[in-house]
Structure 1
Amino acid sequence: MSTDKNNQQTVLVTGGAGFIAVHCTIQLLNAGYKVRATLRNLDREAQVRNMLLEGGVDAGERISFIQADLSSDINWAEAVKDCTYVLHVASPTPKLKFTHEDEMIIPAREGVLRVLRAARDAGVKRVVLTSAIGAIVYGHPNQKEPFDETTWTDTTGDAPAYQKSKTLAERAAWEFIEKEGKGLELSAVNPVGVMGPVLGEDYSHSIYIIKNMLSGKTAACPKVNSCFVDVRDVADLHLRAMTHPAANGERFIATAGESIWLAEVAKILKNNLGEVAAKVSTKQIPNTLLRIAALTDPIAKSIVPLLGIIMNTTSAKAIELLDWSPRSTEEAIVATAESLIRLNLVDKP
């Protein structure tokens, strides 16, 4: 897949230690690109290199690192210098405890604009923004039809703060391109719950669903519905969105297939893993019990708005327009569990 043309091109990957970012870096390096990755703390370089090795890539001098933070202008001009493309994967981490939702919204929005300004000024061809399904599915009446890219989360409703931050950040990005982009191209990738092979101790929040099930921490599953996708396919979609002419100006949902209930996730683990899934519970917690727990537990409180809501989405656009072909939901879930077990990341009781 590597070409001489790719060898001459550098791609900036923001938030270079993140789960999706490392998988994007693996695929970029395998395709022949040089990668420059931003880190808030350069002490994490060794950790990133180890994750790349776990993913089968000895990056050597084909990757470089630069310190940059979404909350500061420092180093962004240097970060994007001579880059053909930018994968803006970095995003402020969700907070369970906050005094005001602006603690997540403002950094997300300002961070996106900071990266886009730097990219535009440096003559970058295209930025691929890692948005989220949270920018699409919240604040709407329960619907039978799957959500697609034409829908936006209603931020005036009771959308959770993190999802609101992703929505407003993506909207700000499109507005910037329209008004101030000066030819800079933009694509957005909106992943659902991201599963797939863990490469180290930095992984997506969705992975905790599997981790907690395997360790027996999830005594019963809340009646929550979600789509899932393998991180390797999310990375593949980023690369397609980065180079495909038809991807400019478009957003793409990344999902492996139809949504399933968490109890079905538990059953997949039971059916595929045998004895190592002995502690996985396929029971379902009554909604009433979870609502009572939400009075004192911030995690339960964050789950309550999702109870019983069908969160089905479609990747038809990415499949048809970009020839994207994701793994199955089951394969993504099993790969997650197998990697957690292999790296000894499942908590012991």
Structure 2
Amino acid sequence: MTHVLVTGGTGFLGSHTIARLLSAGHTVTTTVRSLARRSDVERMLAVAGAPHAGSVSYVEADLTSDRGWEEAVTGADYVLHVASPFPAARPGNEDEVIVPAREGTLRVLRAARKAGVRRTVLTSSFAAVGYGHGRTGQTGWTGRIFDEDDWTRTDATAGRDVSPYIKSKAVAERAAWDFVEREGDGLELTVVNPVGIFGPVLGPDYSASIGIVHAMLTGGMRAAPPIWTNTVDVRDAADLHLRAMTAPQAAGQRYLALAGEPVSFHDIALTLRARLGEAAAKAPTGTAPAWLVRLLATVDPALRETVPQLGVVRRASNAKARKELDGSPRSNEDAVTATAESLVRLGLLSG
């Protein structure tokens, strides 16, 4: 029986990945920053209907400390390193997010190498792929389709769209590849680069992308900003991790995880209204002009982060994951609908 360590079991993707592993017959250990969070993971696995959830082992470990990692990787055949620091607000110093992301990734890889793990699958992000390349005209990208050969620019030539968080994903992933090449000692590495993760929530811990749908359903977004995003259903992202974990051809490869073409926030709102009816009555019906968003951003720090993304459309390809790992992702519409239905079902729209 294959034993897998999943880092960050309390997270949105982490909990879904554990559920998928259990359904596939694997045994699982997961890390949590505090063992007090074990019950949170257990509740999410129950919502997911995961079999044998009681068999999951829990280890207290934090990406900023060496404590717990040797225990966590003991007996693991594979490591799925899903955990990643995500800042609640833009840090005053970019190293506040870059250093923990890089050092946490290296900490996990060192522990995996020492324990004789076969392969580590690192959850990186499209943030490590498609940013910092500038824009064509005022309508965003023209003709360019990002794939696994592309890297976000983090040097002095990078554009304003490279926030500290985005930079941290690129820096951490490059550090992982450098480590395996120079010091891996046979440890295999595969990287999954998801775009915005949507899909059914299992509890109050979910991705930042879910906040878009939450705001639309609760009336917190009166008009959609002129922003486009790529989507992937969390179940498809989790499934891709499992495929990347065992496929021989996946060793040393990156895989973009996404549903297909990018969608605008207005498209998301239209999907919600069409699929949920009255439950989506507060979803915006129009798009705010970019100039208004820029004006409001001068007094709203939350909006300030969106300004570099206004009008920018980043297209990407999932052809490699489809071809090499037989990935078959759900549509943008289905991912968005599943997000909204789960928020309603779990009563997460009140308050």
TM range (shorter): over 0.9
Contact between 2:194 and 2:256, CA under 8 Å: does it hold in 1? yes
Matched, 1:88 2:81: yes
TM-score, normalised to structure 2, is 0.95
Separation in 1, partners of 2:10, 2:125: 18
Contact between 1:52 and 1:59, CA under 8 Å: does it hold in 2? no
Structure 1 residue 141: Cα displacement = 3.0
Structure 1 residue 62: Cα displacement = 2.0
Query: Structure 1 unaligned runs (5+)?
Result: 1-7
Letter in 1 for 2:209: S
Q: 2:138 aligns to what?
A: none
Equivalent in 306, 317, 337 of residue 309 of structure 2: 306
Q: 1:316 aligns to what?
A: 319
Letter in 2 for 1:153: T
Going from structure 1 to structure 2, the CA distance change for 1:17 and 1:112 (only over 3 Å counts) comes to same
Q: 2:248 aligns to what?
A: 245
Q: Give a deviation string over 1:206-237, Cα, whole Å, max 9, x none.
A: 00000000000001111111110100000000
Separation in 1, partners of 2:298, 2:103: 33
Structure 1 residue 310: Cα displacement = 0.8
Separation in 2, partners of 1:107, 1:214: 34
What are the residue-to-residue correspondences of 1:308-347 with 2, within 5 Å?
A: 308-347=311-350
What are the residue-to-residue correspondences of 1:16-35 with 2, within 5 Å?
A: 16-35=9-28
Going from structure 1 to structure 2, the CA distance change for 1:60 and 1:227 (only over 3 Å counts) comes to closer
Separation in 1, partners of 2:24, 2:213: 30
Q: 1:145 aligns to what?
A: 144
SS at match of 2:64: coil
Going from structure 1 to structure 2, the CA distance change for 1:60 and 1:137 (only over 3 Å counts) comes to closer
Contact between 1:148 and 1:253, CA under 8 Å: does it hold in 2? yes
Equivalent in 112, 116, 120 of residue 123 of structure 1: 116
Q: 2:59 aligns to what?
A: 66
Contact between 2:223 and 2:286, CA under 8 Å: does it hold in 1? yes
Q: 1:181 aligns to what?
A: 184
Structure 1 residue 311: Cα displacement = 1.4
Q: 1:3 aligns to what?
A: none
Structure 1 residue 347: Cα displacement = 3.2
Contact between 1:189 and 1:252, CA under 8 Å: does it hold in 2? yes
Matched, 1:52 2:45: yes
Separation in 2, partners of 1:255, 1:347: 30
What is the percentage of aligned positions where both structures have the same residue?
52
Separation in 1, partners of 2:269, 2:223: 10
Contact between 1:213 and 1:266, CA under 8 Å: does it hold in 2? yes
Q: 2:101 aligns to what?
A: 108
Structure 1 residue 282: Cα displacement = 2.3
Going from structure 1 to structure 2, the CA distance change for 1:60 and 1:134 (only over 3 Å counts) comes to closer
Q: 2:153 aligns to what?
A: 154
Q: Give a deviation string over 1:150-194, Cα, whole Å, max 9, x none.
A: 100011223011010011000000000000001100001110110
Letter in 2 for 1:289: L
Structure 1 residue 285: Cα displacement = 1.1
Contact between 1:263 and 1:282, CA under 8 Å: does it hold in 2? yes
Structure 1 residue 58: Cα displacement = 4.5
Stretch moving more, 140-149 or 84-93: 140-149
Letter in 1 for 2:86: T
Contact between 1:132 and 1:189, CA under 8 Å: does it hold in 2? yes
Structure 1 residue 60: Cα displacement = 4.3
Separation in 2, partners of 1:344, 1:111: 34
Equivalent in 219, 222, 228 of residue 222 of structure 2: 219
Structure 1 residue 97: Cα displacement = 3.8
- Number of positions where the alignment pairs a residue of Structure 1 with one of Structure 2: 341
Separation in 1, partners of 2:285, 2:164: 30
Contact between 1:49 and 1:58, CA under 8 Å: does it hold in 2? no
Letter in 2 for 1:275: E
Letter in 2 for 1:252: Y
Separation in 1, partners of 2:270, 2:343: 17
Separation in 2, partners of 1:94, 1:175: 25
Separation in 1, partners of 2:119, 2:127: 23
Structure 1 residue 41: Cα displacement = 0.7
Contact between 2:22 and 2:53, CA under 8 Å: does it hold in 1? no
Going from structure 1 to structure 2, the CA distance change for 1:343 and 1:171 (only over 3 Å counts) comes to same
Query: Structure 2 unaligned runs (5+)?
Result: 136-140
Letter in 2 for 1:147: F
